[in-house]
Structure 1
Amino acid sequence: MRWLWIIGGGVAAAAAMFIAWAVADRFRLADRVAGYDRCEAAAGDMTAALTDCPAMLMTRVDAARRADVCEGALHSGDVYTIRASCPAEVKLMVARRDAALSDLYDARAQIADLTNDRNAAIARAEGRAITFTKRIEANDRIIAAAPRTADGGVRCDAECLRRLAGERAGSGR
């Protein structure tokens, strides 16, 4: 019977140790949950320290914060913040985008210059065409006013030739 008392005492001691361990574990887990709650609260604030967070969560929260800062810089166009907070892949994409925009602006400027040159060439050509047309009309009037021969042909004397050459009538040499 003595051994029942020993087994009973051992079971009671084991039960007491289990209860003590369970209570201690509950407080340990409660502290861990409270730490996670503090970590969650700190993660939502960009300036809060992440001292209560485990290393794995600190790394992820820090990366998320940098991503938020980078995204804000991309939306605002803040080049310094982009260079300071964004990863190399984003910087490369921003550089490629800026180069493409520069090429686009350069192409638009070239198109504008070519359009201006074309318009100036058209204006010069129209001016030459108008001058040529006026000269032909003036020559036609001079020939129409020239004396005619018996067979109806035009007989252009020296005065007529001077006028066709563009000299004023009566300015013989």
Structure 2
Amino acid sequence: MMDDLAPSGSDKRPAVMPGTTGPLVGQNAPDFTLPDTLGTSVTLSSVITTTGVQGAVLYFTMWCPICDAHMSNMRNTVLPAYPNVPFFLVDYVSGSVAGAQNAELSNGYAGSGFTVLADTQQTVLGLYQATMGTTVVIDRTGVIRMNEDYKDGTRLKAALAALP
């Protein structure tokens, strides 16, 4: 098979069936429970159904310079505008809660407004078909509104502004 050097640009993915669970926009977000860096269990479905919460943002980080640039941009330009949306940094590389806490502290994200979650088995990474920089917006009903790589925050802001 040869590479397609002149792609059509059309989206050839199958249509999403409403009510199904999976990582695609329009699907119900896979539920999960992960420990934060203090060892407290955080369950997605509990977070998004908390009174006053509009949804949640997941950002998958490996603490590299690119991730740091994304997270800094998000912290400075997006997070302050959405106080009713919890922002989670999903650490899928540290391998332990202690390792994730060390990464959070050494990278300057303690007390930043983000909650760091330790995905020690990379379970959530797999559930959302994520990789470095994947950013997921989930509304309060549990539906995925965005799942793509972070760029400059423009699409993230649009997805958050459109939350019901």
In terms of fraction of residues, the more helix-rich structure is: 1
TMscore range, shorter length:
under 0.3
Structure ID, larger Rg: 1
Tell me the TM-score normalised to structure 2 length: 0.15
